[in-house]
Amino acid sequence: MKIGIFCGSIGFGGSQNTTISLAVELERRGHQITLYLDRQRFRAHKDVSLFEICDLPVNLIWPQMGFISLGNVIRSINYIHQQQHDVVLSVSCGPLPLLFLYNTFFPPIPVVYYEVGPRMRYITRVFHGTTVANSEETRDLLCNWLGKGLKDIPVVRARVDVREFHHVPSPSETEQSTHVVIFMMSRLELEKTTSVIKVMRALELLVQQRINVRLRICGSGRDENTVISIAKKINDGMGKPVVSLIKATSHVGNIIEKSDIVVGVGRCAWEAMACGRPVVVIGQEGIGGVVCKDTINTLMYYNFTARGSGKGEGPYEIAEVLKPLVESSCYRKQLGEYGLGIVKKYYDAAIGAEQMEAVLAKACQATSKKTLVRRLNEFGIIMTLWLCLYSKGFLIWLIRPRAAAQSLRKAISLAKVDT
């Protein structure tokens, strides 16, 4: 199949890495992949150089994001039309207005919408393609939101390139390190920063108990300077460097291999498990706990977040969860082996690609029987809804006639070139 895959443009990279992992495996299965992504907002550590890429900042047609333009819309639609895709996979709801626009005025392309988070959007209620969920939690919410049965929305949770990660002994096991290293990867923005700071404070409490432990944080964002400042204060107070910050990197596996314990949520947890490292799920929702037999069902349901755990995430609580792991290498090894088995069985991208392939093939078999009049009516409804929900950006457009005129002239010139 010729598959067009739209990559989400928001986030630190979890959903973007998911997109690339599935694309890699789908290509290995013999499919021709075209990626639609905005490189300026692409934060994934996965390599995309192997794919044909449509690099346009229109993958999210939300006016308030500030990068919509008539010229980009026309170029995107023209590019989609030239590619002649058999099916399109949209990883997030952002590209749906663009695809809705395309399917209104051109022969419709089957669209599969992959929801990678428990976010219910109004646009999904008028979306007539196939919907796929990333977890049972998301599926249940979508079923309630859309009025569908559980069998109508498949779950594809597997999306990690397990073969890219290596299960090697941790530094403390090989006596290469005199201290236990905790690794945390996170976006350093908004509510994410709060979780990072609490983990830093928890480490400070452990060091005050004369426990030999270090914390490495990998990430970037608008709160990066705040995190650096707090880390410096903790290091100065302890009289030694116990917290260090690593810039976001594509070599995540190498960093995890040099760590003994990993703290994080979602994809960070799965990548650590693929390296055979014990994982403590801690995020903005609270403490999900250590990945073990007692917690695995809840963690899998909530996509390895702390939603539904009911546990607070104060520094003292976090320190109490981390302490048994820091003090026992046998416990760490046992949990690491358990997590490796889980990620191989349920989260390998090769499994996810096989499941998604079946969904995409089924979508290709469904032909649209809607008339042009009905498609135009639906287009009017969705565009009206879109403008009502995101009128702020539209009003800015109206009060900036010069910018609007420039976009229009650019669009006309592009249309002339394309024809």
Query: What pLDDT, on the 0 to 100 scale, is given for residue 387?
Result: 56
| pLDDT for the residue numbered 96 | 77
Other beta carbons within 10 Å of 50: 12
**The tokens of 38 are what?**
């905005």
Q: Please say whether the beta carbons of 339 and 299 come within 8 A.
A: no
Quote the pLDDT of residue 65: 42
User: What is the average pLDDT score of the chain?
Assistant: 80
355 Cβ contact partners less than 8 Å away, ≥ 6 residues apart? 154, 156, 158
| pLDDT reported for residue 369 | 59
pLDDT in tens, 364-389: 887 655 666 666 666 666 666 555 54
The confidence score (pLDDT) of residue 10 equals: 53
323 within 8 A of 206, measured Cβ to Cβ: yes
Is there a contact between 216 and 246 (Cβ–Cβ < 8 Å)? Answer: yes
pLDDT of residue 222: 86
Identify the pLDDT of residue 411.
47
- Residue 140: per-residue pLDDT: 92
Query: What integer pLDDT is reported at residue 413 of this predicted model?
Result: 52
| Beta sheet of 2-6, edge-to-edge order | 52-55, 32-37, 2-6, 87-91, 111-115, 130-133
pLDDT digits over 46-63, tens only? 667 777 877 765 544 444
* pLDDT for position 382: 61
pTM for this predicted structure: 0.80
pLDDT on residue 66: 42
**CA neighbor of 376 nearest in space, from 90, 6, 108:** 108
Res 37: pLDDT:
79
Q: How far apart are CA 23 and CA 45, in angstroms?
A: 14
Instruction: Point out the residues of the chain with pLDDT beneath 70.
Output: 8-13, 40-47, 56-72, 120-123, 125-127, 172-177, 248-250, 310-312, 367-419
Domains and CATH numbers, the chain: 2-161+350-418 (3.40.50.2000), 162-345 (3.40.50.2000)
- pLDDT score of 414: 45
